[in-house]
Structure 1
């Protein structure tokens, strides 16, 4: 029987034609990439509220998952905060699996086939990313250079490198880890047909038309139209946001699924850009200089999520002489988290700022892409920079209590629900940025134990100390295509020594 080629083989075939010299390194990286994705998948199976996992049994050196169909899945204990690739194989009854896509196929759960295909793509793309990593040992000076050094994508998502619809040529041309220069274009749209937030710059106007920046992939695969060349730019961690040579960042619509979401720009996001930018400036003034929030001077949409763009300040503008701005996702590459006391100091800074803003009324989506840290020349964490306000949560009641006028917005960003607010901040900052930097539950717990006693005693800080830690159930979201929005799980609090999951 003829079998279709695997994702790994397809990438190998494309590399043979495009970059044959890279093929041996790609092949050598495949086992490690399988283990990295399998580790992320095992974390999901061990901790997420998956309806077909009916019981979890913990041994001294093992974990057994009882499935609804009577089978049992065996593997090592699952540290929900580990970023290492420590799972090299698991056993489904008597059958051993080393390939995450093969395991998901064998589980035969609803919507598992589509998820298995994404996992296969994640493995192949991750191996390609690692194979092409070639960076000097010296710390870079420019912000976009740090972003190019992150090869592995999301530290906990099984789809950490899944890019459906991207060929190898596309990944090499547009993936930040491959260090390309991307030639952005513009598409002219009559001004009366556009939604504009802020002051659209003269450079991107042509008489009565607005020139909307467009990503080449979007123009070719979604818009299917020609565009005018504009300016060269460097892709950042989010891939669809790029740094122009003179500093400003351009967030483009890129209607491809990356990890969990299709990365377009909704008219709602464009409409909200200016009031959110103004709110960000006001909030930063309440942090004693410890937080900068990048401004969004202008945004535009052709009343379509497929043709829109935001212009945003570069975090680099907030760095002083001798200082470096590093995305939290890249901190592990600096070696600083292994320095005695450094992780505790950074954790203290991040929690102080995050909880201060939460108390004021804004929960940041402070994961490793959105949150950056300004380092002194000796590596000391000095201040934070936050970018991209498109998915924060805003509490009008809390803002009003502190004398801050809520922005004139409605919709998904607005909530006074304490659970939703805390989930947004704790899930992204503690379970995301800080956990990814710490690299393990014990390291994260030690950093939190050192930092939390210095925090103000508030209902939010008490909830952080005493409750389970919320985190997005990333695999469940991919296995529930008919359920919109985020889904959540509760992880053991890393402040407590017990690291087993809270239930089946």
Structure 2
């Protein structure tokens, strides 16, 4: 049986103690938050290869899913590229479910209990996030939310709903309400980063570690306060105020200086976040490769440089200093993550979306042909906009999870970087999954908001692109996407799992939400 108190009740109790003014809006927002998470979950049921779903029957206006135990799930047709709060309820046989956590519990498939808890946390945290958005009467004194978006963090902090397709879009287990208000980007906090001194001889360093973060023979490693309190259990020396970006663990320094990627050993959305020694060691070689790649994109792409990286040979105590994307915006230009386009008011123009799509595919396919598949989801991929909102150029950040093909690089006369391990592969399927799964099924789909809008943008953008085998695969085949729910229900299987979505260029009307 489903047990109370639920995550919703727990958050309400904590909120009443720390920010009672938000409680009415939080309570009013719970049905919408349940629908938002249920929409993402139903999309997964409709399109992911979940082993306990044995058949899918699409009618004119509804979808029936046959389960291995003989039961049937009934719900609306599911557009795999749609965003928002579209699915308010589904039926499991005769029982109506509007709560994704209760639905997952009722399904009772392997690992459902743990996933149900995550879904409940996602609903409650999303309702909390929405409650604190666009209500200036509740903003703390001195909060800079009225700014015009010209600083690094402002557009990023306006993305309230998190991942557009993951049911765990706001799941933050281990974070109390006070933690979320203090550290989550959508709550617009100023976070006081600290440092821990570690003997330099005990650290792995890549790139240039600044003098500001050295003291005698020690390196001063920036530490997130949540990490210091909950994982390291050590007191840090105060260092600099900073503003959390979309990833929460990466922050922009208060003086528009570099971005600081901190180790934050908490499960956010799907993964436990830390910084591996592999990432630190690879950062300098990746930055050098990026410079070579950028020179081959005719000025359409910038890649932020990792200025320095260091680890105390522990994924829980490490940091990267990365160039701010703002350095690539000229006078009157703005740079913001593609994920922020829907909340910026600039993403609702079909012409702008088509221009962005052509720009992103031109760059993404060019780099893929050269031998590098970017993980160009809406958080890593940023767009430089003119004063009137026209997409001009792209900025990519965070090279930690790209894929590199030595064979393709050599084909173009590029010496592969001295790297081994998970970043390196010549497998065409893996390379195309990395780019198309993040860019088409991720960033562009999130900006478009529906399959028909994405299909129209692709149809307008594809003519004129160089006809490569990768482009042919995109035009003619299904679109790869991470099977995010299958991954959460398969804890025994490491790494990414994938599904194939209908190509938006030929999306059948029967796959759209009704």
Place the TM-score, normalised by the shorter chain, in its bin: over 0.9
**2:21 is equivalent to residue 21 of structure 1:** yes
Distance in 1 of aligned mates of 2:52 and 2:250: 38
Distance in 1 of aligned mates of 2:26 and 2:405: 47
**2:10 is equivalent to residue 10 of structure 1:** yes
Q: Secondary structure at the match of 1:298?
A: strand
Task: Specify which of 306, 312, 334 is matched with residue 302 of structure 1.
Answer: 312
Distance in 1 of aligned mates of 2:372 and 2:510: 31
**2:181 is equivalent to residue 176 of structure 1:** no
**2:400 is equivalent to residue 402 of structure 1:** no
Partner of 1:92: 92
Distance in 2 of aligned mates of 1:466 and 1:85: 30
TM-score, length-normalised on structure 2? Answer: 0.96
- CA drift at 1:138: 7.7
Distance in 2 of aligned mates of 1:145 and 1:335: 14
For residues 430-469 of structure 1, give each alpha carbon's deviation from its aligned partner in whole angstroms, at most 9, with x where no partner exists: 0000000000000000000010112110000000000110
- CA drift at 1:498: 1.8
Task: Specify which of 211, 216, 224 is matched with residue 233 of structure 2.
Answer: 224
Partner of 1:162: 171
Give the RMSD, CA atoms, in angstroms: 1.3
Distance in 2 of aligned mates of 1:148 and 1:205: 31
- CA drift at 1:500: 5.6
Q: Secondary structure at the match of 1:431?
A: helix
Unaligned runs of 5+ in 1: none
Q: Is the 8 A contact 1:492 1:500 kept in 2?
A: no
Distance in 2 of aligned mates of 1:3 and 1:253: 34
Q: Is the 8 A contact 1:469 1:491 kept in 2?
A: yes
In the alignment of these two chains, the number of paired residues is 501
**2:382 is equivalent to residue 372 of structure 1:** yes
Distance in 2 of aligned mates of 1:138 and 1:79: 36
- CA drift at 1:342: 1.3
**Structure 1 pair 137/180, CA: closer, same or farther in 2 (3 Å)?**
closer
**Structure 1 pair 340/137, CA: closer, same or farther in 2 (3 Å)?**
farther
Distance in 2 of aligned mates of 1:307 and 1:195: 11
**Structure 1 pair 361/11, CA: closer, same or farther in 2 (3 Å)?**
same
**Structure 1 pair 238/225, CA: closer, same or farther in 2 (3 Å)?**
same
Distance in 2 of aligned mates of 1:191 and 1:16: 46
Partner of 2:140: none
Distance in 2 of aligned mates of 1:409 and 1:431: 28
Q: Secondary structure at the match of 1:49?
A: coil
TM-score, length-normalised on structure 1? Answer: 0.98
**Alignment of structure 1 residues 318-337 onto 2, 5 Å:** 318-337=328-347
For residues 352-374 of structure 1, give each alpha carbon's deviation from its aligned partner in whole angstroms, at most 9, with x where no partner exists: 01001101100000001000000
Unaligned runs of 5+ in 2: 136-144
For residues 99-150 of structure 1, give each alpha carbon's deviation from its aligned partner in whole angstroms, at most 9, with x where no partner exists: 0000000000000000000000000000000000027788511121001100
Q: Is the 8 A contact 2:350 2:457 kept in 1?
A: no
**Alignment of structure 1 residues 58-77 onto 2, 5 Å:** 58-77=58-77
Distance in 1 of aligned mates of 2:109 and 2:128: 29
Shift >6 Å, 4+ stretches: 135-138
